[in-house]
Structure 1
């Protein structure tokens, strides 16, 4: 039986990929130091989260073996005498009854169950979340996305992955407050490994000597690159924007051909959205201060960090987009285009052809 089971449930865009990359890279070393990541690879935790939350778009395509992913993680935890960590941001979007059942499963396999939530300020999360949507094939312009989030409407599901209070309420029923850990993502300017060290302190983990340099390419996009991809998505017919298309774009095209095609600049938040972002953040911070959770970091780091020198995608010129598209075409070994529309068509056609050819 495990000593402690830590379930890291998100939130999305709060350094989860960075932490998970390091945890899995050092899987063997962490095991030697008493922390088990059950399963064979990071994908197993995603599959387990999909099963726990009832993510039909994933679960319906699983084979019989993969449908047992969550149960296998629990059984591995039960057979391990030390600490166990399961991490995936899709746990955040889980109905309360399913969350309760998952906590009960872990409670049967460990002496203590701990819930870990990582949180990042809304000023940085919003542009990052829009980028993520665009990588998955979305066509919604940035300003329209912000308005939809503000009104809490549309199909973006933003708050289901970012409402820190609601996520905590879902995942902490029956959990002692001292076993609920809120890890705050440091404000800009903090050392790169500060989030890693904060998470390690929650886990009671000695991470001395472990490399924290990211090995996976940074696929964060600048304003021009993100808007170029949105325009490409706009060219692709709706029926062709399939999961296979999204996987190819996010996994291959973005890191391989799009990143670095234009000078980097920061995303700005339009003036008409600043106040509600600040007010929403203040409300969350006040609510968290009133709760007896274990907070690692400074809650004031959840106040929105807004770029003073940034731009919004609608401020990008057609010439900038064409210059970036020309670089992308060269990287794809395609002929240059004499207009932005022609370049968008050529890139979209290439992506669709690659999606069909790989069958992914």
Structure 2
């Protein structure tokens, strides 16, 4: 359903969505795990065709993450080189170069803007009154497992059910990931941006997972593009990890922290080496155990979803889609409780081998700096954990010399 600022409801097909005015700068702010990667891939792949229809994609990449992290004063992923204002300045130049044409910018990291002042600065620099905000939403019960495994890919060591307990049952609900509710308390996210631009310049789209291309049709309608110009782009690197893969990585995170290895090592060898190669080369099969959200957490998330839907409805922003989806209590195929034999995840040998190869290939291709000096002791005098750390540093040093 489409709902305008007067709350009149209209059918949710693309023909009934009024396109934004020519010259609008459509700013898609996510948040995370709401179809952002899929729409970014489709927009980037179609940028030349969009330009022929008067719509520009100003970024030079599928996702201008570094620029947006800099704008929001975020440090980025664990071990990555911190973004700078130069990244943001370059994106602003590219946006200004679009002139009076319609343009679209998409990054889920805009949802991490910490306060109203940051939001106001971003909006003003991108064009002020020309900026229209687009927020995409999915039910929390579908977001939580995906967001947890993403946090694990950035070093989290906490198990899923323990993490759910902290997010849903342990006030102030900000440990171990304070970014979660800043992003996913969706009513407050909408309110932050609506306070700056006004509710008439905010559109909320409720993503229906039953319609895999529905979000693309909505973007086409809002931008005045021909139907089916945007098409899905396969992206194995963006797939979610299985439970076994996530648990393997989570235990690796524990060893990594216990041995006090440098974060740069994690970025190069683990996230962009082992994990990336594993995701690109291994496709989960029907026998792989997926991350299961317990019923109590599904119900708690649905209750929060109902509160958020009601609050968003009072803001006066434009709503496209069925807000009732945000509070639906229904276990999907991904969330159905596993049988007793399925409860223990097992990672296939070929998956483990691909992960290990990815780390080795990354070490050979892009060795990183080591930070800890080896102590002058014999192997027999060195603990196993320290030996692992020292050997890792020495391997990196030899690779760099080669």
Please give the TM-score of this superposition, normalised by the length of structure 2: 0.73
Map residues 8-87 of structure 1 onto 2, 5 A cutoff: 8-43=28-63, 45-57=64-76, 61-62=82-83, 65-66=86-87, 68-77=89-98, 80-87=99-106
* Distance (whole Å) between structure 2 residues aligned to residue 204 and residue 271 of structure 1: 42
Among 135, 141, 149, which residue is 2:159 paired with? Answer: 141
Change (3 A) 1:352 1:218: closer
Aligned partner of 2:331 in structure 1 is: 306
* Cα contact 2:191–2:315 (8 A) shared by 1: no
Where in structure 2 are the equivalents of 1:279-290 lying within 5 Å? 279-290=303-314
- Counterparts in 2 of 1:290 and 1:193: CA distance versus 1, 3 Å: same
Cα gap change, 1:185 to 1:251, in 2 (>3 Å):
farther
Change (3 A) 1:202 1:325: same
Equivalent pairs counted in the alignment come to 332
Residue matched to 1:335: none
**C-alpha distance after superposition, 1:28-70 (max 9, x if no partner):** 1111111111132135x21221122112458984467435234
**In the alignment, is the contact (CA less than 8 A) between 1:182 and 1:296 conserved in 2?**
yes
Q: Distance in 1 between matches of 2:176 and 2:341?
A: 22
Secondary structure of residue in 2 paired with 1:84:
strand
Q: 1:329 to 1:222 in 2, by over 3 A?
A: closer
Provide the rounded CA distance (Å) in 1 between the counterparts of 2:32 and 2:95.
23
Q: Does the 8 Å CA contact 2:41/2:232 hold for their aligned counterparts?
A: no
| Residue pairs, 1:211-290, within 5 angstroms | 211-238=231-258, 239-240=260-261, 242-246=263-267, 248-257=269-278, 259-260=282-283, 263-290=287-314
Please report the RMSD computed on the Cα atoms of aligned residues, expressed in angstroms.
Answer: 3.0
- SS of residue in 1 equivalent to 2:306: helix
Q: Is the 8 A contact 1:39 1:72 kept in 2?
A: no
Q: Does 1:101 align with 2:124?
A: no
1:237, 1:191 → 2: CA distance?
Answer: 41
CA drift of 1:161 comes to 1.5
Aligned in 2, Cα 1:328/1:162: closer, same or farther, shift over 3 Å?
same
CA contact (8 A) 1:123 1:277 kept: yes
Contact kept, 8 Å, 1:124 with 1:306, in 2: the verdict is no
State whether residues 6 and 84 of structure 1, in contact with CA within 8 Å, keep that contact through their aligned partners in structure 2: yes
Q: Which blocks of at least 5 consecutive residues in structure 1 are unaligned?
A: 333-346
Q: Does 1:173 align with 2:195?
A: yes
In 1, Cα distance between the equivalents of 2:315 and 2:124?
A: 23
C-alpha distance in structure 2 between counterparts of 1:115 and 1:266, whole Å: 34
**In terms of mean alpha carbon deviation, does 136-145 or 248-257 score higher?**
248-257
Please state whether the residue corresponding to 1:118 is helix, strand or coil: strand
Task: Tell me the SS of whatever aligns to 2:136.
Answer: strand
Report the CA distance between 1:261 and its aligned residue: 6.0
The runs of 5 or more residues in structure 2 that have no matched partner are 1-21, 369-402
Distance 1:61 1:106 in 2: 22
Alpha-carbon deviation of 1:88?
A: 0.7
Aligned 8 A contact 1:118 1:185 in 2? yes
Shift of 1:310: 3.6
Normalised by the length of structure 1, the TM-score is: 0.81
Aligned CA distance change for structure 1 residues 312 and 164 (closer, same or farther; 3 Å): farther
